[in-house]
Structure 1
Amino acid sequence: MIPFLELSKRLARRGHAVTFVSTPRNAARLGAVPPELAARLRVAALELPGVEGLPRGAESTADVPPEKVGLLKKAFDGLAAPFADLVAEACAGANGDATAGFSRKPDFVIHDFAQNWIWPIAEEHEIPCAVFIIFPAAILAFVGSREANEAHPRSTAAEDYMVPPPWIDFPTTMAHRRHEARAIAALFRPNDSGVSDVERFWEMQRPCCRLVVLRSCPEAEPRLFPLLTELYARPVVPAGLLLPDELVGGDDDGAPGGDRPIPDVVRWLDGQPPRSVVYVALGSEAPVTAEHVRELALGLEFSGARFLWALRRPVGHSGELLPDGFERRVAGRGVVRAGWVPQVRVLAHAAVGAFLTHCGWGSTVESLFRFGHPLVMLPFVADQGLIARAMAARGVGVEVPRNEDDGSFRGDDVAAAVRRVMEEEEGQELARNARELQEVVGDRARQEQYVDELVDHLRRCK
């Protein structure tokens, strides 16, 4: 949701009227629209229908375990009728203040891959669409178009997803480990919503879809944009990385600037030497188990490194997670925080020298491309393995070895990867490569230029 809001803000700052459509709880999570944008950016909250089996109040993937995500998509499919009403009102000129631009017929609908029910609504009102993908370009290239998959069929066997697809005609690291490949194969099968994720995505290949927009850029993912434009037979264009303007505050810290107390984890970082701490966070949705937590703890202990760990309890686990005596043994050099951690503020701190991550695209963008941190990489599902392989190939991170079949890993291997990044001569080269990549990819002027070019594409495609 945050990349969608960041894109909305950038369009509003360029003089366009934007309606950001979400659900009530999700809209509340995103906070207030900046006052200077209130005249051009509004939030429309549509009530999410209830679905049997979906927890009450669940409105995002962060609210549910992985096995419930299909039900969440089913609930979101129930938004088709209220969204159709919203669009019809706008087209009829009956919705809001005309001076704000919200009562006119929309020029474009920009939406996520999963809302395949938007296409017929847009076609009824003759409104062009753009699908906005917040995953990296690599996963689109790996999945491929409907036509490419019909020409080169893949079964649901894991082996078919452990090699690069034949339509990628240049050398690439783009392949999945066996345990990752099983999850990728599942994307091609219908889930609890009755539709597969890939089928939802492929439905974008309708005439009203004029553009595919990516939260990425050629500097971050070389060679892929021309390939995707040919593969999907429509322009595939970068929106840039859409990093929030604020260094701290607003995007994950709550109150702005000096209006908030300094979190205790930041005070602890203040007492650590420069670039000496590994920040550890595996995101809000990676399917982390109690065994993963235990081995990760042992790895951090064995590594001897300073660390700050934002620990998320596995879904459904209520018992002890950390090995007996762990926090006592690492006292002074390691901090475990089970609650909220101001991640952007932590990553911006001078004491942080590396990031141990699940390699979600948002986390990679935030840590590597924004702050130039080398990575200790522990991918789990979806695009994360592709990201890890690409970043290893670019010399900015080290991947923790895992069992090919079940994805398990050992504490000793975590420790070895951490030491390679933090202590050994290799770590200096990784850090240097990460800073050099950040200087290229993190160029703010170029990133804003991508948004300007996107606006030009939208105008031409209207």
Structure 2
Amino acid sequence: MAHPRTTTEDYMVAPPWIPFPSTLAYRRHEAEWIAAAFRPNASGVSDTDRLWEIERPCCRLIVYRSCPEAEPRLFPLLSKLFAKPAVPAGLLLPTDIVDDDDNAANTSSGQSFASAMQWLDKQPDRSVIYVALGSEAPITADHVRELALGLELAGVRFLWALRPPRQSQTGTLLPSGFASRVAARGLVWTEWVPQVRVLAHGAVGAFLTHCGWGSTVESFRFGHPLVMLPFVADQGLIAQAMAARGIGVEVARNYDDGSFHRDAVMVAVRRVMVEEEGKVIARKAKELHGILGDRARQEQYLDEFIGYLQRHR
């Protein structure tokens, strides 16, 4: 299979090899990032050309951390597109309980996550939105400011796992007076967070996420509705797909430069956490959890994958 799309505009429409109607496509700010991956870098070879080496004869199998239930229309295409078997390994769901030591102090701050878990323990069931944008998203000071003010305007409880942009200090990023204004209902945590533990907690009712596939899979495991703020790579397409399934709301933003405003954060959070619409979104998230959160079925995919490797070694 060739990859003829090289310009930004090529990525702003559904690709020609999708045989069914689809509106999934990158927005301009996302498409510019993707198109750049097709341009040769300092090595003289593009990052995407390296990826396309999987078409070489030495690669006999494509393995995906996914399953047909997660991508019912796309998954049957994979073997045809790559001209080799595409085998699902399942979603590799997390377990309910992770043996993290919440009392262990973080080496940089001396804080332990036990205090954050104790804060969660005091919150009503499904009243907290957990906010985490992953470790690789290119977060800027403007993003942090608008997200903070949006959470403040939303008026809901939140636990924010904030990774400050490089060479930035959290105290200078957050708006003046923000911490004191939200102290009664919000907690900003700047050290490592055991995300699965948080998502499994009964006080958490929604997840504001960048829609990295790993975090999205973890949301499936616990059936949380999503507020979605994607940044790079496939995150925008994942967010659109989850919105199409009715399990989340994407934060509105400028499609040309990717910027967003505090009011858009407020609206998206309240749609999921406060408005009547949120009940429908939560119900659909639970329904999807019933399909994709079935550990026995997901483990069966992994067993079948292992069996495939044993038969074809």
Provide TM-score, normalisation by structure 2.
Answer: 0.93
CA distance in 1, matches of 2:75, 2:6: 26
Instruction: Give the counterpart letter for 1:403 in structure 2.
Output: N
Q: Does 1:272 align with 2:115?
A: no
Cα-to-partner distance string for 1:242-268 (whole Å, 9 max, x where unaligned) = 124462226x9798xxxxx86111100
Q: Which residue of 1 aligns with 2:137?
A: 286
**Tell me, what secondary structure is at the counterpart of 2:23?**
coil
Larger radius of gyration: 1
Q: Does 1:461 align with 2:312?
A: yes
Matched, 1:363 2:236: no
Counterpart of 1:327 in structure 2 is: 179
| Counterpart residue number, 1:315 | 166
Tell me, in whole angstroms, the C-alpha distance in 1 between the residues paired with 2:138 and 2:113: 31
Deviation at 1:190, TM superposition (A): 2.3
CA RMSD of aligned residues (A): 1.7
Contact 1:217 1:241 in 2 (8 A): yes
Q: Contact 2:37–2:46 (CA<8 Å) still a contact in 1?
A: yes
Is the contact between residue 277 and residue 307 of structure 1 (CA under 8 Å) also seen in structure 2?
A: yes
Closer, same or farther in 2 for the Cα pair 1:416/1:189, shift >3 Å? Answer: same
Per-residue Cα deviation, 1:4-56 (whole angstroms, up to 9, x for no partner): xxxxxxxxxxxxxxxxxxxxxxxxxxxxxxxxxxxxxxxxxxxxxxxxxxxxx
**Could you tell me whether the CA contact under 8 Å between 1:253 and 1:345 is conserved in 2?**
no
Which residues in structure 2 correspond to 1:208-247 (within 5 Å)?
208-245=58-95, 247=97
TM-fit CA distance, 1:458: 1.7
Does structure 2 retain, via aligned residues, the 8 Å contact 1:173–1:390?
A: no
Q: For residues 18-417 of structure 1, what are the structure 2 equivalents within 5 Å?
A: 145-146=1-2, 149=3, 153-156=4-7, 158-245=8-95, 247-249=97-99, 263-318=114-169, 320-367=172-219, 369-417=220-268
2:280 aligns with 429
* Matched position secondary structure for 2:129: strand
Q: C-alpha distance in 2, partners of 1:192/1:317? A: 29
**Alpha-carbon distance, 1:435 to partner:** 0.8
- Equivalent residue of 2:159, what SS? strand
Query: Which AA in structure 2 matches 1:300?
Result: L
Distance 1:262 1:309 in 2: 13
Instruction: Kindly state the Cα deviation for residue 200 of structure 1 after the two structures are TM-superposed.
Output: 1.2
- How many residues get paired? 305
**Alpha carbons 2:67, 2:91 under 8 Å: kept:** yes
Distance 2:297 2:23 in 1: 27
| Preserved CA contact (<8 Å) 1:379 1:388 | yes
Q: Distance in 2 between matches of 1:376 and 1:225?
A: 25
Normalization by structure 1: what TM-score? Answer: 0.64
Q: In the aligned structure 2, how far is the partner of 1:376 from the partner of 1:238?
A: 27
User: 2:135 & 2:102 partners in 1: Cα distance?
Assistant: 16
Identity of aligned residues (%): 71
8 Å contact 1:173–1:393 — kept in the other structure?
A: no
Q: Please give the alpha-carbon distance, in whole angstroms, between the structure 1 residues aligned to 2:122 and 2:307.
A: 48
Once the two structures are superposed, what CA deviation does each residue of 1:97-156 show, in whole Å capped at 9, x if it has no partner?
A: xxxxxxxxxxxxxxxxxxxxxxxxxxxxxxxxxxxxxxxxxxxxxxxx32xx2xxx3233
The one-letter amino acid paired with 1:308 is: L
Shift of 1:223: 1.6
SS at 1:213 equivalent? strand
Residue 155 to residue 205, structure 1, CA distance change in 2 (3 Å): closer
C-alpha distance in 1 between matches for 2:243 and 2:125: 24
- Does the 8 Å CA contact 2:103/2:113 hold for their aligned counterparts? no
- Give the AA of the match of 1:312: R
The question of whether the paired residues in 2 share the 8 Å contact of 1:300 and 1:414 is answered with: yes
Instruction: Indicate the SS of the match to 2:214.
Output: helix
- The residue type equivalent to 2:36 in the other structure is A
For residues 312 and 245 of structure 1, what CA distance do their matches in structure 2 show?
A: 24
1:244–1:277 distance in 2 versus 1, CA, 3 Å: closer
- Quote the Cα distance in structure 2 between the aligned partners of 1:182 and 1:189: 11
Matched with 1:21 is none
* Structure 1 unpaired stretches of 5+: 1-144, 256-260
Deviation of 1:193 (Å): 4.4
Report the Cα offset of residue 222 of structure 1: 1.1
C-alpha contact (below 8 Å) 1:277/1:354 kept by paired residues = yes
Quote the Cα distance in structure 2 between the aligned partners of 1:460 and 1:231.
Answer: 23
CA shift, 1:359, in A, is 0.5
CA distance in 2, matches of 1:226, 1:262: 43
Indicate how the Cα distance of structure 1 residues 279 and 192 shifts in structure 2: closer, same or farther if over 3 A, else same.
farther
Q: Specify every segment of 5 or more residues in structure 2 that has no aligned partner in the other structure, as ranges.
A: 105-111
Matched, 1:419 2:258: no
The Cα shift of 1:217 comes to 0.7
